[in-house]
Structure 1
């Protein structure tokens, strides 16, 4: 027997939330680009090396550190994005409003994470800790997606 999936009217909220994450991804990339310019790290280098940072002085040393933090925040975003986005889209089939709200909260915490990671005078990027609440929201989406998939069996 064929399976029929009805997309709820509110699924538009899920699509708006997912579209907003495209903008968020580009925001990350633009931040990395601006920090790269300040740190004077040429392409194709992904990071300032420990040797480059040790040899730099003053503001450039700080700029290199902040660039590395911005790059790492972007990588962390991308590492999680590949599972977040499908979870959002799947969960939204059964729980469109909950999924969209959870996805929006996830996006806000991703911004907090990135901004905190690049906060000046914060050793080892510890400013990102306030944004780590993206994890519970991501786990909620995983649960909703799993439940949605199970309910289709």
Structure 2
């Protein structure tokens, strides 16, 4: 049996986790504001294609909604990799997580302009994901070998 010891530096991992929740909250507020500005009523998740093509505010709302949805879709993987890899490699994992979050900001800012092609500004978030995947695999390996 292996004992799991949480290193003191794990606090950095927790800081990145808190920042990720703040980022999701900020995106949610942005979607709410765009929804009100575009006049898209609940329970509709998006403005339909004809509405979005006719009204730029509705198009921007759809873009902001997609940013938020995409980030929410990826969040469970991000969180699992962050918390797992951080057990053995807290500094590397927290740095990779912060890099991921910074790229999500670029992704969000680009996509939220209403020009979806600008979302590519945050394409390097996958480097952070792959780094966290690496630290997670190494953590699991060490847990199983010892």
TM tier, shorter chain?
Answer: over 0.9
The Cα of 1:113 is off from its aligned counterpart by 0.5
Structure 1 vs Structure 2 CA RMSD: 1.0
The Cα of 1:53 is off from its aligned counterpart by 2.7
Show the counterpart of 1:11: 10
- On the 8 A contact 2:52/2:59 being kept in 1, the answer is yes
Show the counterpart of 1:129: 120
Q: Please give the residue correspondences for 1:1-153 in structure 2 after superposition, counting only pairs within 5 Å.
A: 2-54=1-53, 56=54, 61-120=55-114, 122=115, 125-153=116-144
The Cα of 1:52 is off from its aligned counterpart by 2.1
The Cα of 1:139 is off from its aligned counterpart by 1.4
Q: Which moved more, 1:137-146 or 1:63-72?
A: 137-146
The aligned length equals 144
The Cα of 1:66 is off from its aligned counterpart by 0.6
- On the 8 A contact 2:107/2:122 being kept in 1, the answer is yes
In structure 2, C-alpha distance between the alignment counterparts of 1:112 and 1:131, rounded to whole Å = 5
Structure 2 segments unaligned to the other structure (5+ residues): none
Aligned residue for 1:51, secondary structure, equals helix
In structure 2, C-alpha distance between the alignment counterparts of 1:142 and 1:76, rounded to whole Å = 19
